[in-house]
Amino acid sequence: MKSNKSTKPLLMLPALKGKIGKWFYYSTLMKFSEVKTYISLTTDFYENKNLSDMIQRAIDTKRSEKIADYIQQVQERFFPSMVIAVYEGAPKFHEFDVSPKGNGAMPSVDISKSQAFGYLELSGDEILFPLDGQHRLSGIKKVLQRIKDDPKSEIPDDELSVIMIGHEPTNAGRQRSRRLFTTLNKRAVTVKISEIIALDEDDVIAIACRHVVEDLKGWSQDKFVSLKSNAALTVADAQSFTSIITLYECFRVIFMALVENQPNESNAEKKDRLRFNRPMDAWLDVYLATADAFLSQIAKRFPEVGQALEAGDVTTIINQHRKGDGGHVLFRPRGLSMFAELVAASISWDGAITIEGKQADPKKIKRLAIKRVREGVDYFSDIETDITKRPYRDLFFEPVSQQLRPGKMPLVRDLLLYNGELVSERKIKAMEKRLESQMGEHIALKDFLAG
């Protein structure tokens, strides 16, 4: 890659020298202001500059903006180490002398460790580009551009952990760096939803789930909500009404329906906002109250759920309503999440609410949000709940094999929305075709529901 180099000032960085596999590396600290100045988004993965530029174009601008928002808005901001490739220039490592001084006794230290401390000197002629952390780098550059006229901001002095490795601008060197790039980026393990629920302090849906199992009366009793890492509950799970994974899905669809999109915000962006931007405490209380209202109103309108909450021996109630040959739809995890989808449809029909608006009053919005959720539960409180009956029979519940078919639940949901007059004429025709495909013959929606 031909570079348009502009020599930067000499830079001294505290560093640890290490080796893993065939890679020698330096682990160091750089201020955000130094990151902006010394590290480029342009890569040197290919001799053909257009191919290298593909990496830069692949950076998601919206994701970078979200990272910039995170840096600017969250006091407890933190990032993992960024991996940087270094070539050209004349980087030097100045090793510290950490040998024992005087007569003081010191335990023996592996020589590789005693020689690991020092300063990394960058002459200013080096070219640095990210192998891992492209979006973080882009976000840092964006936020520093935003605050360039704010001399009081402490963000430029934030320190980022940076791991530097040597890069050779040859075909073999580029191939080696490309391989490390894909290893670091493609093979990253996605965080499990159970881990997000247990640990995430920014995801408002996860916070609501933890609130329920820790603080909400009845729902916080031991094992009433299963904390297993999957949503499914078998007939043998007689101590749990539902799962925390199911609660997450319920709150997700309700919050998505209840919260109004910000100007020019897509639904995907709103979903990310709920997941990554912890609201201020006054607004967080609105979300928690909404979650409470959904579950409390279900217990109020469906006596079987209320009985399970109040029972001294919950296993008796659960065995009665979740059994191999049928039972109550809300005692099935997919049934409860389907009901949340019904409530969300009712909320959407009435219109979303401006939650977290600058001019909005959290107390007034809280009352309105609770009202909307309760009305949604009430609207569908008279649905059929026996899964051996329509609309569940022959779709969600197969009566001959007594097997559940969760994949059929979207059609069940739409049939209940149709029965509740919340489906457009256009969608009714599509539903008739879907039902005919499932049943193998044409059946009018009303006839199916009546059967």
Q: pLDDT tens per residue, the chain (451 residues)? A: 444 455 789 999 999 999 898 888 999 999 999 999 999 887 665 566 665 566 666 677 788 888 999 999 888 899 999 999 888 877 899 988 766 666 655 566 666 677 789 999 999 988 888 888 889 999 999 999 999 999 999 999 999 999 999 888 788 887 888 778 877 777 667 788 998 999 888 899 999 999 999 999 999 998 999 999 889 998 889 999 999 999 999 999 999 999 999 888 999 999 999 998 889 999 999 999 999 999 999 999 999 999 999 987 899 999 999 999 999 999 999 999 999 999 999 999 999 999 988 888 999 999 999 999 999 999 999 999 999 999 999 999 999 999 999 999 999 999 999 999 999 888 999 999 999 999 999 999 999 999 8
By the 10 Å C-beta count (0-12 exposed, 13-18 middle, 19+ buried), 43 is classed as: buried
Sorted by where each begins, the domain ranges of the chain are 11-95+112-186, 207-386
**Neighbour-count burial of 136, counting CB atoms closer than 10 A to its CB (0-12 exposed, 13-18 middle, 19+ buried):** buried
Q: What is the pLDDT of residue 53?
A: 62
Q: What is the pLDDT of residue 97?
A: 75
Q: Please state whether the peptide bond connecting residue 406 to the residue before it is cis, i.e. omega within 30 degrees of 0.
A: no
Q: Which amino acid is at 162?
A: V
Q: Report the alpha-carbon distance of residue 33 to residue 48 in Å, rounded.
A: 30
Name beta bridge partners: 26. Answer: 17, 164
Task: Give the pLDDT of residue 431.
Answer: 94
**Type of residue found at 360:** A
Determine the pLDDT at residue 153.
Answer: 94
Return the pLDDT at 330. 98
Distance of CA 442 to the CA centre of its chain: 42
State the first-to-last Cα distance of the chain, in angstroms, to the nearest integer: 71
pLDDT at residue number 29: 96
Q: Which residues of 405-441 are buried (b: 16+ CB within 10 A; e: fewer)?
A: bbebbebbbbbbbbbbebbeeeeeeebbebbeeeeee
CB 450 within 8 A of CB 434: no
Give the integer Cα–Cα distance in Å for 111 and 53: 42
pLDDT of residue 78: 93
Amino acid residing at 381: S
Per-residue pLDDT at 259: 96
